[in-house]
Chains A and B, each alone.
Chain A
Amino acid sequence: KNEVEQSPQNLTAQEGEFITINCSYSVGISALHWLQQHPGGGIVSLFMLSSGKKKHGRLIATINIQEKHSSLHITASHPRDSAVYICAVRGNNRLAFGKGNQVVVIP
């Protein structure tokens, strides 16, 4: 079993819909990252959090340390949000990654 599990693997939404993607992990961590990867491969860090909730624009990330679970919410989704969203957890001096959530937003 992977240290980091993400769900759903694939998600398609209509423009404007509220999107939630989830990440569960099985190890102790010092921080959790949500990353965005577009076709072509480059990775952009969206959030790093170790407790509670963070908001940036239309994106909201939450983490529940006790339940070892994090969610990324996209409000008023837009086609430019189409990407792979990767959850990564920091432990033992390095990051362990999930496989990613493939999100497609249709106009």
Chain B
Amino acid sequence: DTGVSQNPRHKITKRGQNVTFRCDPISEHNRLYWYRQTLGQGPEFLTYFQNEAQLEKSRLLSDRFSAERPKGSFSTLEIQRTEQGDSAMYLCASSPKIRQGSETFFGQGTRLTVV
């Protein structure tokens, strides 16, 4: 297992286009998280899944954003009608079922630039 994998690493898109990012978590990690990080800021929570169920969504996740984890393995994050303010690093993380000692593992991120 090579850790949490995100694709693509970089994406440049024109305003108004739709984009989709993929995250492959560590095998058998049933929790998967999406975070967004803008320049000079720490990551901000977007949403998380336990298996295929999306259990929590941040107010940051407007109706242009949708995330899925159809079989409880990989996840996709889609942004429709992109805006320049969507430019950010989108980070995926996974962890085993939460208990006191659960570690969280991060992917390399997808850097989105909307021009």
On A, residues with C-beta under 8 Å from B are 4, 30-31, 33, 35, 40-45, 48, 50, 86, 88, 90, 93-100
Q: Please state if A94 and B45 are interface contacts (CB–CB under 8 Å).
A: yes
Q: B91 an interface residue at 8 Å Cβ cutoff?
A: yes
Q: Please state if B100 and A99 are interface contacts (CB–CB under 8 Å).
A: no
Q: B60 an interface residue at 8 Å Cβ cutoff?
A: no
Q: Please state if B56 and A30 are interface contacts (CB–CB under 8 Å).
A: no
Q: How far is the CA of A95 from the CA of B100 in the complex (A)?
A: 14
Q: Please state if A30 and B55 are interface contacts (CB–CB under 8 Å).
A: no
With A30-B100, A31-B100, A50-B100 in contact, is A42–B106 under 8 Å at CB? Answer: yes
Q: Please state if A93 and B89 are interface contacts (CB–CB under 8 Å).
A: no
Nearest B residue (CB) for A94: B45
Contacts of A42 in B (CB 8 A): 106-109
6 new A-B contacts at CB < 8 Å, known A43-B43, A95-B35: A4-B42, A43-B106, A44-B106, A93-B55, A95-B93, A99-B42
